[in-house]
Structure formats: C-alpha cells, structure tokens
Structure 1
C-alpha cells in the first residue's frame, strides 16, 4: 500500500490556518507543514513563528520516531519513554490509572504548552493566565472549591 499523509495536528487561528501532516515510508517519518494565510498578519507573523517551528519540529519528529520504535500495543510501560512527553505521562499517571486517559491528558497538556500563544480568544472577563491556570488544574486533576 502506498504511503499516505495523515493529519497530525490542525489549528485554525484568526490570522492563519496550519496543518501538520506526517507520512511514514520505509521506516522514515516525514513532516509537512501546510499554511493558509487567512489575514494579513499571517504573512507578517509566520516568518518569526516559523523559526520556532523549525526548532521544535526535529525534536517532535525524534519523539514520534522513538514512540513508533518502542510502542507495543497493550504495553504498560508508556510512562518510561524519554523526553518531556514521558515525564508528563509519568506525572499524570500518579493520579490517573487509566492508560488511555493518561495519554489523552498528556496530549492536551502538551498541545496547550506548545500552542497557547497561537490562540486569540476572548476569555469572557478572565485573563489569559487565569484560563491557562484553570486548564492546568483540569488536566492535572487539581481540585478547587468553587464556593
């Protein structure tokens, strides 16, 4: 079967839409970044953002390659993988025993950490910091009294 591109991450913002696609062929992983400038600021901001993207992408690819190499369906050792993602899984695993939930919370936390500065949103009277702190509380299962 021929290799096909798979959407790994898609993120619209108010000024551009970005999609990261991956393809695996012959044990090699390729990453493609596809952008659509939705507004003029996208043309202006992406050159600076692309420098960050180019610095992060190789590490993300190495992490993905390591994950592909060490993944065994049903294996309990997910938290033993190296890197930030593994440390995050390990931390979340201290309060959550469901491996699927650990993986989902880890992915969401990683996406917030990497992508929060790309989002432009009205937080309904809350500051960005307050919303990020609450997101962290939810992802890391930190309980707060609402009373």
Structure 2
C-alpha cells in the first residue's frame, strides 16, 4: 500500500511542477492516471529495427533483466526465508549481477545504429561504474564479518 501512495505522491508532485494537464484531471484524486498508464503500456507497439538484428535486439534486455532477477536468489529476506543458501552467496551475487552490462551492449549492437550502439556503450559503462564501488563495499563488509 505504501508503494501506491508514494507513486501517487510522485505523480502529483511531477504534475504540479511540470504543469501537466492530464494527471490533474484523471478521476477522483487523480487515481485513474496509473490505470491509464498501465493500459498505455499494454497496448504499446513493440518497435524492432528494420536493418538491425532482431534476435540480438530482443535478447539483450532479457539478459539484463534475467541477470538482475537471478541475483535475488542469494539475498536472505529473513531468518528462515532464503531462496538459495549457498556458501558463496556474495560472490555469486556479484558475478550474476555483472552480466547485466553485456545485455545492454547486445541491445545497442543489435539495433545496427551507431547512436544506439553508443547509447548501449554508455549504459554499460554507467552500470559498470556503479558496480565497482558496490562490489568494493560488499566485499569489504564481507571480509570484516568473516573471521
């Protein structure tokens, strides 16, 4: 319930700042705007590049999303709620989440467009630049805990 309230507040603030007309009048308390956005996403056209490799263009985002979702396997959600209890959990988490930039590169390359490829390179570089400090933080905490 908290997520719904936060999303509603975020939309209210953005609509006020940007003076958006649509979100201001979408139902009582503007609650129907989220329903309209969900409907728009369901009926959105899937565009594939005409000169690009459609398989690579489709597989790239799948690799990125699947690697991130797989990294949740080793995160303990509670004392007894662990999906996969592995002794190398932290290292496996870092390894699996490091696959995501490859998916970003594949998507940019599959479009057969130099600007999309540069965008994919930029996204991968940004992802890697966030990953390096995160890995150092996680490993330093792990080394501190292990005696």
When you count helix as a share of all residues, which structure comes out higher?
2
TM range (shorter): under 0.3
When you count strand as a share of all residues, which structure comes out higher?
1
Higher Rg: 2
Query: So what's the TM-score if we normalise by structure 2?
Result: 0.27
Query: So what's the TM-score if we normalise by structure 1?
Result: 0.27
